[in-house]
Structure 1
Amino acid sequence: MTSEAGSRLRRFASRLRPAAAGAGQGGPPAEPDVEPGPADVVQIGQARPRQRVTVVGEVRILALRPQGDVPTLDVELWDGSDALHLVWLGRRSIPGISTGTRLRATGRVTLQRRAKTIFNPAYEVIGTARGPHG
Protein backbone atom coordinates (compact mmCIF):
# COMPACT_ATOMS: atom_id res chain seq x y z
CA MET A 1 0.00 0.00 0.00
CA THR A 2 1.39 3.40 -0.90
CA SER A 3 1.86 6.02 1.80
CA GLU A 4 -0.79 8.23 0.16
CA ALA A 5 -3.38 5.44 0.24
CA GLY A 6 -2.42 4.63 3.85
CA SER A 7 -2.84 8.30 4.81
CA ARG A 8 -6.29 8.46 3.28
CA LEU A 9 -7.32 5.28 5.07
CA ARG A 10 -6.07 6.62 8.45
CA ARG A 11 -7.93 9.93 7.94
CA PHE A 12 -11.10 8.06 7.06
CA ALA A 13 -10.76 5.75 10.09
CA SER A 14 -10.12 8.70 12.42
CA ARG A 15 -13.40 10.29 11.29
CA LEU A 16 -15.26 7.09 12.13
CA ARG A 17 -13.76 6.50 15.57
CA PRO A 18 -15.37 9.41 17.48
CA ALA A 19 -18.87 8.50 16.30
CA ALA A 20 -18.43 4.82 17.15
CA ALA A 21 -16.86 5.56 20.54
CA GLY A 22 -19.61 8.02 21.53
CA ALA A 23 -22.45 5.68 20.57
CA GLY A 24 -21.16 2.81 22.70
CA GLN A 25 -20.37 4.89 25.82
CA GLY A 26 -23.59 6.72 26.51
CA GLY A 27 -22.95 9.28 23.79
CA PRO A 28 -25.62 10.35 21.35
CA PRO A 29 -27.51 7.35 19.97
CA ALA A 30 -26.95 6.29 16.39
CA GLU A 31 -29.50 7.57 13.89
CA PRO A 32 -32.19 4.91 13.41
CA ASP A 33 -33.66 4.19 9.99
CA VAL A 34 -36.45 6.74 9.89
CA GLU A 35 -39.70 6.12 8.06
CA PRO A 36 -40.89 9.10 6.07
CA GLY A 37 -42.96 11.33 8.32
CA PRO A 38 -45.45 14.06 7.49
CA ALA A 39 -42.60 16.46 6.67
CA ASP A 40 -41.33 14.07 3.97
CA VAL A 41 -44.71 13.63 2.28
CA VAL A 42 -45.13 15.40 -1.06
CA GLN A 43 -48.50 16.40 -2.48
CA ILE A 44 -49.19 14.45 -5.66
CA GLY A 45 -49.72 17.71 -7.56
CA GLN A 46 -46.13 18.72 -6.67
CA ALA A 47 -44.54 15.37 -7.65
CA ARG A 48 -42.40 15.54 -10.79
CA PRO A 49 -41.26 12.75 -13.14
CA ARG A 50 -38.02 11.00 -12.13
CA GLN A 51 -38.38 12.28 -8.55
CA ARG A 52 -38.46 9.80 -5.64
CA VAL A 53 -41.40 10.79 -3.44
CA THR A 54 -43.57 9.68 -0.56
CA VAL A 55 -47.26 10.43 -1.03
CA VAL A 56 -50.36 9.87 1.09
CA GLY A 57 -53.85 9.57 -0.31
CA GLU A 58 -57.03 7.58 -0.69
CA VAL A 59 -57.58 4.77 -3.18
CA ARG A 60 -60.26 5.89 -5.64
CA ILE A 61 -60.01 3.23 -8.35
CA LEU A 62 -58.71 -0.34 -8.21
CA ALA A 63 -58.27 -2.18 -11.52
CA LEU A 64 -56.68 -5.40 -12.77
CA ARG A 65 -55.03 -4.62 -16.11
CA PRO A 66 -53.20 -7.62 -17.52
CA GLN A 67 -50.22 -6.71 -19.71
CA GLY A 68 -49.74 -9.74 -21.91
CA ASP A 69 -49.68 -12.77 -19.62
CA VAL A 70 -48.62 -10.73 -16.57
CA PRO A 71 -51.33 -9.64 -14.11
CA THR A 72 -51.02 -5.97 -13.19
CA LEU A 73 -52.79 -4.27 -10.27
CA ASP A 74 -53.41 -0.56 -10.95
CA VAL A 75 -54.55 1.66 -8.08
CA GLU A 76 -55.43 5.34 -8.47
CA LEU A 77 -54.42 7.31 -5.38
CA TRP A 78 -55.98 10.74 -4.76
CA ASP A 79 -54.82 13.33 -2.21
CA GLY A 80 -56.94 16.34 -3.17
CA SER A 81 -54.28 17.96 -5.34
CA ASP A 82 -53.98 15.34 -8.12
CA ALA A 83 -54.13 11.62 -8.85
CA LEU A 84 -51.27 9.13 -9.07
CA HIS A 85 -51.31 5.54 -10.29
CA LEU A 86 -49.61 2.87 -8.21
CA VAL A 87 -48.89 -0.18 -10.36
CA TRP A 88 -47.83 -3.57 -9.00
CA LEU A 89 -46.61 -5.94 -11.70
CA GLY A 90 -47.40 -9.62 -11.19
CA ARG A 91 -50.14 -8.96 -8.60
CA ARG A 92 -53.87 -9.59 -8.87
CA SER A 93 -54.68 -8.13 -5.46
CA ILE A 94 -53.03 -6.93 -2.27
CA PRO A 95 -54.70 -7.75 1.06
CA GLY A 96 -55.91 -4.59 2.81
CA ILE A 97 -56.06 -2.43 -0.32
CA SER A 98 -59.51 -1.60 -1.65
CA THR A 99 -61.36 1.55 -2.65
CA GLY A 100 -61.47 3.97 0.27
CA THR A 101 -58.20 2.70 1.79
CA ARG A 102 -55.69 5.38 2.84
CA LEU A 103 -52.13 4.58 1.76
CA ARG A 104 -48.64 5.97 2.15
CA ALA A 105 -46.55 5.03 -0.89
CA THR A 106 -42.92 5.66 -1.79
CA GLY A 107 -41.26 5.32 -5.18
CA ARG A 108 -40.01 7.04 -8.31
CA VAL A 109 -42.58 8.94 -10.39
CA THR A 110 -42.84 8.19 -14.11
CA LEU A 111 -45.28 9.36 -16.77
CA GLN A 112 -47.32 6.63 -18.44
CA ARG A 113 -49.87 7.88 -20.98
CA ARG A 114 -49.62 11.34 -19.39
CA ALA A 115 -50.54 9.96 -15.95
CA LYS A 116 -48.17 10.12 -12.97
CA THR A 117 -47.28 6.54 -12.07
CA ILE A 118 -45.12 4.69 -9.56
CA PHE A 119 -44.29 1.05 -10.37
CA ASN A 120 -44.01 -1.47 -7.52
CA PRO A 121 -44.02 1.16 -4.74
CA ALA A 122 -43.21 0.53 -1.12
CA TYR A 123 -46.48 1.12 0.71
CA GLU A 124 -48.17 1.25 4.08
CA VAL A 125 -51.90 0.92 4.71
CA ILE A 126 -52.86 3.81 7.00
CA GLY A 127 -56.57 3.12 7.36
CA THR A 128 -59.84 3.44 5.52
CA ALA A 129 -62.27 6.28 4.80
CA ARG A 130 -64.30 4.93 7.73
CA GLY A 131 -61.40 5.23 10.16
CA PRO A 132 -57.95 3.85 10.97
CA HIS A 133 -59.24 0.35 11.77
CA GLY A 134 -61.95 -0.14 9.15
Structure 2
Amino acid sequence: MTAGAGYLKRLTRRLTEDLEQADAEKISEQSQATGAQRACDCSRGEEVSMLGELRSVQTCSKATKTGVVAEFFDGTDVVVLKWIGRNRIPGIEPGRKITVRGRLGEKDGAKVIYNPYYELLGDD
Protein backbone atom coordinates (compact mmCIF):
# COMPACT_ATOMS: atom_id res chain seq x y z
CA MET A 1 0.00 0.00 0.00
CA THR A 2 1.34 3.42 -0.89
CA ALA A 3 1.49 6.38 1.46
CA GLY A 4 -1.12 8.17 -0.65
CA ALA A 5 -3.53 5.24 -0.43
CA GLY A 6 -3.13 5.13 3.37
CA TYR A 7 -3.88 8.83 3.63
CA LEU A 8 -6.96 8.46 1.42
CA LYS A 9 -8.21 5.56 3.54
CA ARG A 10 -7.78 7.56 6.78
CA LEU A 11 -9.49 10.60 5.24
CA THR A 12 -12.41 8.51 4.03
CA ARG A 13 -12.79 6.91 7.46
CA ARG A 14 -12.79 10.31 9.17
CA LEU A 15 -15.42 11.66 6.80
CA THR A 16 -17.73 8.69 7.13
CA GLU A 17 -17.44 7.61 10.75
CA ASP A 18 -20.05 8.61 13.26
CA LEU A 19 -19.13 11.94 14.85
CA GLU A 20 -20.36 10.82 18.26
CA GLN A 21 -18.09 7.77 18.10
CA ALA A 22 -15.14 9.96 17.12
CA ASP A 23 -15.90 12.31 20.03
CA ALA A 24 -16.10 9.36 22.44
CA GLU A 25 -12.74 8.06 21.23
CA LYS A 26 -11.13 11.49 21.66
CA ILE A 27 -12.44 11.87 25.21
CA SER A 28 -11.37 8.31 26.08
CA GLU A 29 -7.85 8.90 24.72
CA GLN A 30 -7.49 12.13 26.73
CA SER A 31 -8.69 10.35 29.85
CA GLN A 32 -6.25 7.45 29.42
CA ALA A 33 -3.37 9.85 28.76
CA THR A 34 -3.87 11.39 32.21
CA GLY A 35 -4.03 8.02 33.97
CA ALA A 36 -7.68 8.46 34.96
CA GLN A 37 -9.87 5.42 35.48
CA ARG A 38 -12.34 4.42 32.76
CA ALA A 39 -15.98 4.53 33.83
CA CYS A 40 -16.72 1.22 32.08
CA ASP A 41 -14.12 -0.51 34.30
CA CYS A 42 -15.41 0.93 37.59
CA SER A 43 -17.99 -0.74 39.81
CA ARG A 44 -20.19 0.17 42.73
CA GLY A 45 -18.38 0.92 45.98
CA GLU A 46 -15.06 1.88 44.40
CA GLU A 47 -13.30 5.17 45.05
CA VAL A 48 -12.78 6.54 41.51
CA SER A 49 -10.97 9.35 39.73
CA MET A 50 -12.12 10.04 36.16
CA LEU A 51 -11.69 12.64 33.45
CA GLY A 52 -14.46 13.44 30.99
CA GLU A 53 -17.01 15.88 29.74
CA LEU A 54 -20.38 17.04 31.02
CA ARG A 55 -23.07 16.21 28.49
CA SER A 56 -25.99 17.77 30.31
CA VAL A 57 -26.61 19.68 33.53
CA GLN A 58 -29.90 20.15 35.37
CA THR A 59 -30.26 22.67 38.16
CA CYS A 60 -33.02 22.64 40.70
CA SER A 61 -35.38 25.38 41.65
CA LYS A 62 -35.03 26.88 45.10
CA ALA A 63 -38.38 25.33 46.02
CA THR A 64 -37.42 21.70 45.32
CA LYS A 65 -33.82 21.85 46.63
CA THR A 66 -32.98 18.56 44.91
CA GLY A 67 -29.53 19.69 43.82
CA VAL A 68 -27.50 19.86 40.64
CA VAL A 69 -27.51 16.76 38.42
CA ALA A 70 -25.02 16.33 35.58
CA GLU A 71 -24.39 13.60 33.02
CA PHE A 72 -20.64 12.89 32.90
CA PHE A 73 -19.15 10.98 29.94
CA ASP A 74 -15.57 9.75 29.71
CA GLY A 75 -15.80 8.11 26.29
CA THR A 76 -16.59 4.67 27.70
CA ASP A 77 -19.66 5.06 29.94
CA VAL A 78 -21.98 7.61 31.52
CA VAL A 79 -21.91 8.48 35.22
CA VAL A 80 -24.54 10.67 36.87
CA LEU A 81 -23.08 13.31 39.19
CA LYS A 82 -25.37 14.66 41.93
CA TRP A 83 -24.56 17.61 44.16
CA ILE A 84 -27.22 17.55 46.86
CA GLY A 85 -28.47 20.81 48.36
CA ARG A 86 -27.00 23.05 45.66
CA ASN A 87 -29.13 24.99 43.21
CA ARG A 88 -26.23 26.07 40.96
CA ILE A 89 -22.48 25.48 40.68
CA PRO A 90 -20.43 28.02 38.70
CA GLY A 91 -18.53 26.34 35.85
CA ILE A 92 -20.62 23.16 35.88
CA GLU A 93 -22.17 23.43 32.43
CA PRO A 94 -22.67 21.21 29.36
CA GLY A 95 -19.55 20.68 27.26
CA ARG A 96 -17.17 21.41 30.14
CA LYS A 97 -14.25 19.02 30.68
CA ILE A 98 -13.72 18.08 34.32
CA THR A 99 -12.03 15.56 36.55
CA VAL A 100 -14.17 14.00 39.27
CA ARG A 101 -13.36 11.95 42.36
CA GLY A 102 -15.70 10.12 44.66
CA ARG A 103 -17.26 6.81 45.62
CA LEU A 104 -19.21 5.22 42.79
CA GLY A 105 -22.73 4.15 43.61
CA GLU A 106 -25.65 2.82 41.65
CA LYS A 107 -29.24 4.02 41.44
CA ASP A 108 -31.88 2.53 39.16
CA GLY A 109 -29.18 0.70 37.20
CA ALA A 110 -27.14 3.85 36.51
CA LYS A 111 -23.70 4.69 37.88
CA VAL A 112 -23.81 7.70 40.19
CA ILE A 113 -21.47 9.75 42.37
CA TYR A 114 -22.99 11.92 45.09
CA ASN A 115 -21.28 15.21 45.95
CA PRO A 116 -18.13 14.45 43.92
CA TYR A 117 -14.94 16.42 44.26
CA TYR A 118 -14.30 18.07 40.91
CA GLU A 119 -11.76 20.15 39.05
CA LEU A 120 -12.72 22.28 36.06
CA LEU A 121 -10.35 21.89 33.14
CA GLY A 122 -9.49 24.50 30.54
CA ASP A 123 -10.52 24.21 26.91
CA ASP A 124 -8.00 22.42 24.73
TM superposition score normalised by structure 2: 0.67
Pairing 1:1-134 to 2, within 5 Å after superposition: 38-39=34-35, 41-65=36-60, 69-127=64-122, 131-132=123-124
* 1:18-47 Cα shifts (integer Å, max 9, x gaps): xxxxxxxxxxxxxxxxxxx923x1011111
1:110 and 1:126, CA in 2 relative to 1: closer, same or farther beyond 3 A? same
Following TM superposition, the consecutive aligned residue runs of length 4 or more in structure 1 with deviations greater than 2 angstroms are 68-71
Matched AA of 1:99 = P
Give the C-alpha shift of residue 65 in structure 1.
Answer: 5.0
Distance in structure 1 (CA, Å) of the matches to 2:58 and 2:42: 23
Name the count of aligned residue pairs. Answer: 91
Q: Tell me the CA shift for residue 69 of structure 1.
A: 4.2
* Structure ID, larger Rg: 1
Query: Could you list the runs of 5+ residues in structure 2 that have no partner in the other structure?
Result: 1-32
Distance in 2 (CA, whole Å) between partners of 1:88 and 1:121 is: 7
State the secondary structure of the residue aligned to 1:81: coil
Query: Which is further off, 105-114 or 69-78?
Result: 69-78
SS state at 1:109 partner? strand
How far is the alpha carbon of 1:79 from its aligned partner?
1.1
1:45 partner SS: helix
Map of 1:9 onto structure 2: none
Q: CA deviation at 1:64?
A: 2.6
1:49 counterpart letter in structure 2: R
Question: Larger RCO: Structure 1 or Structure 2 (Cα < 8 Å, ≥ 6 residues apart)?
Answer: 2
Q: CA deviation at 1:58?
A: 0.4
**Cα displacement (A) at 1:72:** 1.1
Give me the TM-score of the superposition, normalised by structure 1. 0.62
Seq. identity, %:
30
